[in-house]
Amino acid sequence: MPNPANRFHSWLYRARPDLNCIVHSHAPHASALAMLEVPLTISHMDTCVLYDQTAFLEKWPGIPVGNEEGEIISTALGDKKAILLSHHGLLVAGSSVEEACVLGVMFERAARLQLLAMAAAKSNRFRRNWAAKLSVGLAHRNASKRRSPTIPVARRELPTV
Ligand SMILES: [Zn+2]
């Protein structure tokens, strides 16, 4: 018995006669983006092969065994060659097996880079906030010193040598 989850492939082939191969996977980094409901962003030169070729399906209906899912996916894919399905995985398509496989590998690599960049950005944001709080705290302390020059300052005796 053919896998009923392949039913939506027929919708894609019907809608896009330029496609001869569809690859669907739950690759880990692409799946992590799908879990976060974050579309793939092409912002690194190594991932430019996917520029203007990725779509994002934010509302995923469930297991793709019916005609409804085929219609939804083919409509969301539009004229692109890759689509990230929220809470599911990745679908890439090409005019050949080679093209679809390369796009699939590149999508997973781009998703990994994006997750790394997102993690680093949060870390940088934390540092910026920390620096902002520090500078506000210092400004407040300096302002307090100007208003009240008699603030006691703790002093530590330096050991004599
Ligand atoms: Zn799947």
pTM exceeds cut of 0.95: no
Q: Kindly give the distance from the C-alpha atom of residue 83 to the centroid of ligand 1, in angstroms, as a whole number.
A: 12
Q: Is the residue at 47 inside a domain?
A: yes
Q: Kindly give the distance from the C-alpha atom of residue 5 to the centroid of ligand 1, in angstroms, as a whole number.
A: 8
**What confidence tens digit (pLDDT) does each residue in 78-108 have?**
999 999 999 999 999 999 999 999 999 999 9
**What confidence tens digit (pLDDT) does each residue in 111-122 have?**
999 999 999 987
Q: Kindly give the distance from the C-alpha atom of residue 61 to the centroid of ligand 1, in angstroms, as a whole number.
A: 12
Q: Is the residue at 58 inside a domain?
A: yes
- How many domains is the chain built from? 1
Question: Of 157 and 110, which is predicted with more confidence?
Answer: 110
Q: Kindly give the distance from the C-alpha atom of residue 160 to the centroid of ligand 1, in angstroms, as a whole number.
A: 73
Q: Is the dihedral of CA 144, 149, 155, 161 positive or negative?
A: positive
Q: Is the residue at 13 inside a domain?
A: yes
Q: Kindly give the distance from the C-alpha atom of residue 57 to the centroid of ligand 1, in angstroms, as a whole number.
A: 13
The CATH number that applies at residue 67 is 3.40.225.10
Q: Is the residue at 161 inside a domain?
A: no
Q: Is the residue at 112 inside a domain?
A: yes
Residue 55 domain boundaries: 4-121
Q: Is the residue at 44 inside a domain?
A: yes
What mean pLDDT do residues 59-66 have?
Answer: 70
Q: Kindly give the distance from the C-alpha atom of residue 88 to the centroid of ligand 1, in angstroms, as a whole number.
A: 6
Residue whose C-alpha is closest to residue 83's, from 45, 124, 126, 34: 34
